[in-house]
Amino acid sequence: MNPSFIKLGSIDYVILIIYFLFVLGIGWALKRQMKGSADFFSSARSIPGWVTGLAFLSANLGAQEVVGMAASGAKYGIMQSHFYWIGAIPAMVFLGLFMMPFYYGSKARSVPEYLRMRFDEKTRGFNALSFAFMTVLSSGISLYAMAKLLEILLGWNFDLSMAISAVIVLIYIVLGGLTSAIYNEVLQFFMIIFGFAPLVWIALRDIGGWGVLKQKLVAVAVDQHFAPGTWTESWRHVGSPADNPMGVEWFGLAMGLGFVLSFGYWCTDFLVIQRAMAANSMGAARRTPLIAAFPKMLFPFLVILPGMIAVALLRDHHGGFALPLEGGSPNWNLVIPVMLGHYLPSGLLGLGFTALMAAFMSGMAGNVTAFNTVWTYDIYQSYIAPGKSDRHYLAMGRAATIVGVLVSVLAAYYFRRNTNIMDLLQLVFAFVNAPLFATFLLGMFWRRSTGHGAFWGLVLGTLLAVIHHGLTIPEHAAVGQAGGWLGATIHTYPSPMAQNFWTAIVAWTGCMIITIVISLCTAQNKTDQELTGLVYSLTPKPKEEIEPWYQKPVILGAVVLAATVALNFIFA
Amino acid sequence: MNFDLRLPIGLIFSLFGAILTGYGLMTRGSAIYNPSLGINVNLRWGAVVLLFGAWMLWMALRARKPRPPGTA
């Protein structure tokens, strides 16, 4: 392996070091404000909406986003932007308009805590434990992916790059808590924009513009026996799974990705919701996902487009562009970093690389801050040591941060030896939120749903997802991790992605039906008074806040949706 | 109260912008720009980054000034 696929100059290191110093400086400057646990875990609800909005977007912009989206852009073309246009925006608008009033208005400090207020202790416990487990391992995945990437491209030492980034994240969270994580996420958001935009500009110019790229991608599509426009048209080839490289059809795409997976993630995952809960007013909390949606819908041009350009460059051997190989085929996960090295001179290269590292680190920080909150409030304070002083919980939050980072590091080493376990975990994480959205939908909009119903719906919904995965298999896959491990195969899906979408649909539908049936058979354990502020029909309409029209959530939501529909038409 | 985030954002991007523009000026016509199609991207993009940084700084400093009574 070439030890230095990319060579950084001294000016690039200067930029990288300045960035690290700033990140630590922000943590240091916030240290004085961390007086109680509310400051540390929820920024004492003091952050303006534009900041929480950009952090909301950034917290999700970790490893898989930047690296994986470009890889998928190469493999699937513009269809990958469904993960943004139908797989994120509608759910973000729904969260801002309909769900945020309950999250923020209930004064719950976490998503699991909302579940306790609305349902019962066991539902909260189930969610808190699975969430804590998931965040720590996700943070480990992020860490592993970064160290691996730096090792391949720059020849950096795996242990050292992991140690440095873990220590930096650790320091700035221990010092400044959630506020520090949020501030650094916003900084990272601008780094990504300024680091990657010149890359897209130069690369697109090199290939001859969008028109030429479209022509070149025709050849890519035809090579793989698809219709000529498959790589540049997002909707025209979803009639049948055989017509597109994702192997999905429109119903699975719209229901599985556009509804279950997307609403399951954006509307229930505490990692992103925590940012909105830190906002300084109800209006700001509701605007958080809406503000995030504006840049979100344009992100395909920053992260997917480079992959589409790369596949065209590679086919023509244009300008000597090449990717490191992995198992005989190009390693698409390296598209963005290799393109950075290919097009950008020292100087901007440093900015681009720093942006990449920033993305990995804040992906990790997002998970760590969500973990320390759920651990301290929902597990430690609830089951292990209730009734201690606030200082005690603040100290526990700091300790949990250290433990969380340590576990992530251990997990990263473990994944290095067992990459198939990591693949399996990512598969599980992909549908673990799916049933949860049914629970929230019923919890917020149907007052009759009960704690027993919610709990069993969640448990059995998750179990159904596992069983579905065990009984089905994608085409050409070996029985085992890909599915079919329960012995019998009742259905063969055209692709792993189709299988994943349908697993989510099964989990959601199962959870929905089971929760309804069990709720009808059990008595409501909460009084109407207890449910006020938690359920739609029992909550007084939020009074109109006095805000200019451009800050009204309904107007922002309508504009976002209209723009997304327009994008879908333009690139249909 | 937390500090105004626009201040550190303004500072870091002004600094990055200044470094990139300065480096771009020093390396005018250099072969390092062959991969970027002969465009001095450090100079051009550095100027954009610098402008953004300055704008953030200006907004942060403007917000610090005490406002005359009666304005929102």
Residues A489, A471 contacting (CB under 8 angstroms): yes
- Residue of chain A minimizing CA distance to B11: A22
User: Taking CB atoms and an 8 Å limit, are B37 and A18 in contact across chains?
Assistant: no
Q: Which of A25, A194, A206 is nearest residue B49 as measured by Cβ atoms?
A: A194
Provide the ipTM: 0.91
| H/E run at residue A474 | strand A472-474
User: Taking CB atoms and an 8 Å limit, are A47 and B36 in contact across chains?
Assistant: no
Q: Which of A18, A25, A342 is nearest residue B35 as measured by Cβ atoms?
A: A342
Q: Nearest CA to CA, how far is A104 from chain B (Å)? A: 20
- Can you give the pLDDT of all 572 residues of chain A as single tens digits? 444 578 899 999 999 999 999 999 999 999 988 989 999 999 989 999 999 999 999 988 876 678 889 999 999 999 999 999 999 999 999 999 999 999 998 999 999 999 999 999 999 999 999 999 999 999 998 899 889 888 888 889 999 999 999 999 999 999 999 999 999 999 999 999 999 999 999 999 999 999 999 999 999 999 999 999 999 999 999 999 999 999 999 999 999 999 999 999 999 999 999 999 999 999 999 999 999 999 999 999 999 999 999 999 998 888 888 888 888 888 898 899 999 999 999 999 999 999 999 988 888 899 999 999 999 999 999 999 999 999 999 999 999 999 999 999 999 999 999 888 888 888 888 778 889 999 999 999 999 999 999 999 999 999 999 999 999 999 888 888 888 888 888 999 999 899 999 999 999 999 999 999 999 999 998 999 899 889 988 888 767 677 888 888 999 999 999 999 999 999 98
pLDDT of residue A415: 92
pLDDT of residue A318: 84
3-state class (DSSP) for residue A529: helix
pLDDT of residue A533: 87
Q: Output Rg (C-alpha) for chain A, integer angstroms.
A: 23
pLDDT of residue A4: 57
Cα–Cα distance between A440 and A102 in angstroms, integer? 10
Name every chain B residue with its beta carbon within 8 A of the beta carbon of A17: none
Q: Could you tell me if A432 lies within 8 Å of chain B, comparing CB atoms?
A: no
Q: Which of A339, A342, A344, A551 to mutate to test the interface with B (most CBs of B within 10 A)?
A: A344
Structural domains of chain A, count: 1
User: Taking CB atoms and an 8 Å limit, are A186 and B33 in contact across chains?
Assistant: no
Residue B37 corresponds to which tokens in the numbers above?
């199609």
Cα–Cα distance between B24 and B18 in angstroms, integer? 10
Cα–Cα distance between A502 and A508 in angstroms, integer? 10
The distance of Cα A47 from the centroid of its chain, to the nearest Å, equals 21
User: Taking CB atoms and an 8 Å limit, are A190 and B46 in contact across chains?
Assistant: no
Q: What are the backbone angles phi and psi of residue A472, rounded to the nearest 5°? A: -125, 165
Cα–Cα distance between A334 and A510 in angstroms, integer? 38
Cα–Cα distance between A445 and A531 in angstroms, integer? 11
Alpha-carbon torsion A136, A142, A148, A150, what sign? negative
The answer to the question of residue A512 being in a domain is: no
Distances (CA, A) of A70 to A75, A290, A366, A475, B4: 9, 24, 22, 24, 34
The answer to the question of residue A339 being in a domain is: yes
User: Taking CB atoms and an 8 Å limit, are B24 and A343 in contact across chains?
Assistant: no
Name every chain B residue with its beta carbon within 8 A of the beta carbon of A14: 19
Q: Which of A11, A14, A22 is nearest residue B12 as measured by Cβ atoms?
A: A22
- Residue of chain B minimizing CA distance to A16: B16
Residues A509, A460 contacting (CB under 8 angstroms): no
Range of the domain at A201: 10-417+540-570
Q: Which of B2, B8, B16 is nearest residue A15 as measured by Cβ atoms?
A: B16
Q: What are the backbone angles phi and psi of residue A492, rounded to the nearest 5°? A: -110, 120
Q: Could you tell me if A156 lies within 8 Å of chain B, comparing CB atoms?
A: no
| Terminal CA-CA length for chain A | 41
pTM beyond 0.95: no
Cα–Cα distance between A508 and A259 in angstroms, integer? 10
Residues A567, A297 contacting (CB under 8 angstroms): yes
Q: Could you tell me if B55 lies within 8 Å of chain A, comparing CB atoms?
A: no
Assign residue A200 the CATH number of its domain: 1.20.1730.10
User: Taking CB atoms and an 8 Å limit, are A18 and B15 in contact across chains?
Assistant: yes
**A69: alpha, beta or left, given left = phi > 0 and alpha = psi -120 to 50?**
alpha
**A239: alpha, beta or left, given left = phi > 0 and alpha = psi -120 to 50?**
alpha
Surface of A (187-206) touching B: CB under 8 A: 187, 190, 194, 197-198, 202, 205-206
Helices A121-154 & A390-417 angle (0-180, nearest 10): 50
pLDDT of residue B68 exceeding 80: no
Name every chain B residue with its beta carbon within 8 A of the beta carbon of A348: 20, 36, 41-42, 45-46
Helices A335-343 & A305-316 angle (0-180, nearest 10): 70
Q: Which of B2, B20, B23 is nearest residue A30 as measured by Cβ atoms?
A: B2
Q: Three-state secondary structure along chain B?
A: CCCCCHHHHHHHHHHHHHHHHHHHHHCCCCHHHCCCCCCCHHHHHHHHHHHHHHHHHHHHHHHHCCCCCCCC
Residues A457, A436 contacting (CB under 8 angstroms): no
User: Taking CB atoms and an 8 Å limit, are B41 and A344 in contact across chains?
Assistant: yes
The distance of Cα A261 from the centroid of its chain, to the nearest Å, equals 11
Q: Could you tell me if B25 lies within 8 Å of chain A, comparing CB atoms?
A: no
The answer to the question of residue A161 being in a domain is: yes
Distances (CA, A) of A381 to A237, A305, B72: 52, 46, 42
Within A230-347, residue ranges assigned H as helices are: 250-251, 262-266, 270-277, 282-298, 300-303, 305-316, 335-343
3-state class (DSSP) for residue A216: helix
Residues B3-18 have a mean pLDDT of: 94
Cα–Cα distance between A342 and A449 in angstroms, integer? 56
Q: Could you tell me if B12 lies within 8 Å of chain A, comparing CB atoms?
A: yes
Cα–Cα distance between A400 and A397 in angstroms, integer? 5
User: Taking CB atoms and an 8 Å limit, are A347 and B42 in contact across chains?
Assistant: yes
Name every chain B residue with its beta carbon within 8 A of the beta carbon of A278: none
Q: Nearest CA to CA, how far is A15 from chain B (Å)? A: 7
Distances (CA, A) of A410 to A62, A155, A276, A358, A426: 19, 22, 30, 21, 17
Name every chain B residue with its beta carbon within 8 A of the beta carbon of A206: 37
Q: Could you tell me if B2 lies within 8 Å of chain A, comparing CB atoms?
A: yes
Name every chain B residue with its beta carbon within 8 A of the beta carbon of A202: 36-37, 39, 41
Type of residue numbered A97:
L
Q: Which of B2, B50, B56, B59 to mutate to test the interface with A (most CBs of A within 10 A)?
A: B2
Q: Nearest CA to CA, how far is B21 from chain A (Å)? A: 9
Name every chain A residue with its beta carbon within 8 A of the beta carbon of B33: 345
pLDDT of residue B72: 43
Q: Could you tell me if A560 lies within 8 Å of chain B, comparing CB atoms?
A: no
The answer to the question of residue A369 being in a domain is: yes
Q: Which of B5, B12, B41 is nearest residue A345 as measured by Cβ atoms?
A: B41
Q: Could you tell me if B8 lies within 8 Å of chain A, comparing CB atoms?
A: yes
The answer to the question of residue A139 being in a domain is: yes
Residue A144 corresponds to which tokens in the numbers above?
């592993």
Q: Could you tell me if A179 lies within 8 Å of chain B, comparing CB atoms?
A: yes
pLDDT of residue B67: 59
Helices A111-118 & A121-154 angle (0-180, nearest 10): 170
